[in-house]
Structure 1
Amino acid sequence: MPATAAPPVRNERQDDGYFGPESVSWRVFSDPSAKLGGVAAILLQALNSDMMQLFDKVSDFAGDGPGRAERTGRYIDTTVFGDKAHADAAGASVRRMHAASTWTDPVTAEVMRADTPQWLEWTHNTIVWGVLRAADLYGPALSMAEQDQLVREQHKAAELAGVNPVRIPATRAELDKYIFAEQGWMALTLPAAEISRGLRQPALWGNPVKVLTGIIIQDGIIALLPEWSQLLYGVAGRPMNLRGAAKVTRALMAAGRRNASYDAVITELTTKVDTHPYRKVRTGAATA
């Protein structure tokens, strides 16, 4: 008799992760506006000049913008929508990567480390602020209590990345205060200018409808940024353009919600992180 093939090993979910269906985190991070908030967060992170100096030496931060955005998005999806084992594995992977990313300034002999607490806090806080700011402009509508709940829920995400939750904001008001208080430390470096080149000089070739939509979305992202960061990037002074772009972007986000129900989006996200998590922890999981 011919040998019977062994059934494939399935990568079954063990639980609903650290947040779950009733969380504000699932509601916000599953919304199409969260992707725009995530891009705004990367732009804010890039204005930390010390952090960018290190990343320019140890990684291709500016030259691999799309790749970095994809990896960051996959990490966030895994920590938010994956089960606890995969969220833990993703967090451990990122902590190891940060611990290994160091550079010694040849002039000052200062050792710069990616796991510097203030830098990790800036990275985490900009992500939470970015998705909340996107929700402000483009939905989903959140009460102040829900905004505060999201900030507190994301303390677990901070902990996974190596951030001490005691050191970071616990309410939306505290988060706003933190973001605006940090502006004095920010500067536009050459690597940051490189990753933002498209904001200042958007591509104008290709399908006219896609080009126009892309420019509108770009301006919709710029509209999310604090005014001081728009000034640093050289994209300030366009209030009429940004208001118009924000209005159209809001309509595009609403259309996205109508075209895919919340349940369908959650199913897609949980399936994606189950089959292709940032880091696998069980036999049969897709390779990260």
Structure 2
Amino acid sequence: MFRWVQSRVVDSVSGMFAHAEMPLQHTGDFPGDPGLCGPDSVSWRVIGDVSVFVGGIRALLIQAAHPEVVAGVDEHSRYREDPLGRLSRTSFYVTSSTYGARPEVDEAIKLVRSAHQGVSGTSHRGRSYSASAPELAAWVHNTLTDSFLTAYQRFGGRLSTEEADRFVAEQTQVGALLGASPLPTTAGDLRTWITGHPALAPSPGMRAAIDFLQNPPIPAAQRTGYRLLMQGAITTIPRDLAGILGLVALPGARLSSTTLVLGLRRLMKNSPAWQAALERCHVPYDPRLFRDQPNGAAA
């Protein structure tokens, strides 16, 4: 019975990320290449954990608080027509940049830079924006880093202050390749930069993004779990930021989301992308710690 439930859960969750090219399909072609982070990194541990699902939702919510960033998404993205495609492409980027060999990292960065070309315009408050602008790229990158770290620490992961700082420093390597700036190098400085950012304010694009994220057109089988994860994400957002976003967690959200993440961690184990990267680097590991993935995909 447990095996059947485990298989259903893995297939259901993994299916949401199967709407674009799967990452690390040919990572074995680069034996010994540690990529940007490497086997001893904190990044491989954090992003290989199921709390990354909460972190991803949290990042999307917080990113919407920047009027120019969200205007670019609202006016240029096809997230409404193809939400799972966008989710899968984001997963491809995060997985490839974290676990990929260096050629795979470079390809993922190239794809993001290409997608950002031509994404420019003027926000509702009359400020120009460009997705390739260092300060806007920094908002997207830094909120993603902070969200993965916060979700991991809040939902069962244990990191020392030094390890948290190492994670942030490792992720600045990705941000630098994207041309993002500034890139705080410690967890404390990162949180201060985000919560004290002077550009944040409500906007029409923010409201549209939040409404969509609260009720996305996803299959019914995933809807309840998604909403619990979203509520968990909301519980981790600092009060002032949550106020800008107009978000308030439902009563009991912390407990219910924590219970779900603990259950997912038991059923889904760690990311097969982490496992594939360890094999590429010839590092011994316990295969029982990693989940099986349909069709050999790594995500």
Summarize the Cα distance change of 1:265–1:111 in structure 2 as closer, same or farther, 3 Å threshold: closer
Question: What is the letter of the counterpart of residue 97 of structure 2?
Answer: T
After TM superposition, the score normalised by the length of structure 2 is 0.74
1:251 aligns to 2:259 (yes or no): yes
Any residues of structure 2 matched to 1:142-157 within 5 Å, and which? Answer: 142-157=159-174
Instruction: Tell me the residue number matched to 2:117.
Output: 99
Deviation larger for 96-105 or 19-28:
96-105
CA RMSD of aligned residues (A): 3.4
| Matches of 1:149 and 1:11, distance apart in 2 | 25
Q: 1:192 aligns with which of 182, 193, 206?
A: 206
Determine helix, strand or coil for the equivalent of 1:187.
coil
Question: What is the letter of the counterpart of residue 175 of structure 1?
Answer: L
Summarize the Cα distance change of 1:276–1:211 in structure 2 as closer, same or farther, 3 Å threshold: closer
Measured after TM superposition, the shift of residue 220 of structure 1 is: 0.8
Determine helix, strand or coil for the equivalent of 2:114.
helix
Q: Which runs of 5+ in 1 are unaligned?
A: 1-9, 279-288
Determine helix, strand or coil for the equivalent of 2:135.
helix
Instruction: Tell me the residue number matched to 2:146.
Output: 129
Instruction: Tell me the residue number matched to 1:6.
Output: none
Determine helix, strand or coil for the equivalent of 2:121.
strand
Q: 1:174 aligns with which of 189, 207, 211?
A: 189
CA contact (8 A) 1:62 1:194 kept: no
CA contact (8 A) 1:78 1:90 kept: yes
Instruction: Tell me the residue number matched to 1:5.
Output: none
Instruction: Tell me the residue number matched to 1:228.
Output: 240
Measured after TM superposition, the shift of residue 62 of structure 1 is: 4.8
**C-alpha offsets along residues 149-203 of structure 1, whole Å, 9 cap, x if unaligned?**
0011111111222225xx3111111011111101x42223233222322666699
**C-alpha offsets along residues 121-140 of structure 1, whole Å, 9 cap, x if unaligned?**
11110011001110221021
Instruction: Tell me the residue number matched to 1:7.
Output: none
Instruction: Tell me the residue number matched to 1:218.
Output: 230
Question: What is the letter of the counterpart of residue 185 of structure 2?
Answer: A
Measured after TM superposition, the shift of residue 20 of structure 1 is: 2.0
Determine helix, strand or coil for the equivalent of 2:28.
coil
Deviation larger for 89-98 or 54-63:
54-63
Determine helix, strand or coil for the equivalent of 1:252.
helix
Summarize the Cα distance change of 1:169–1:198 in structure 2 as closer, same or farther, 3 Å threshold: same
Deviation larger for 150-159 or 63-72:
63-72
CA contact (8 A) 1:44 1:229 kept: yes
Summarize the Cα distance change of 1:85–1:226 in structure 2 as closer, same or farther, 3 Å threshold: same
CA contact (8 A) 1:61 1:191 kept: no
| Matches of 2:220 and 2:110, distance apart in 1 | 42
Q: Which runs of 5+ in 2 are unaligned?
A: 1-25, 280-292
| Matches of 2:69 and 2:268, distance apart in 1 | 38
Summarize the Cα distance change of 1:188–1:263 in structure 2 as closer, same or farther, 3 Å threshold: closer
Any residues of structure 2 matched to 1:110-125 within 5 Å, and which? Answer: 112-125=129-142
Paired residue total: 258
1:12 aligns to 2:33 (yes or no): no
| Matches of 1:268 and 1:11, distance apart in 2 | 7
Summarize the Cα distance change of 1:45–1:269 in structure 2 as closer, same or farther, 3 Å threshold: farther
Question: What is the aligned-residue identity percentage?
Answer: 26
Question: What is the letter of the counterpart of residue 220 of structure 1?
Answer: G
User: Quick check: which has more Rg, 1 or 2?
Assistant: 1
Summarize the Cα distance change of 1:56–1:258 in structure 2 as closer, same or farther, 3 Å threshold: closer
**C-alpha offsets along residues 31-73 of structure 1, whole Å, 9 cap, x if unaligned?**
0001211111111112211122233333334554433222111
Instruction: Tell me the residue number matched to 1:284.
Output: none
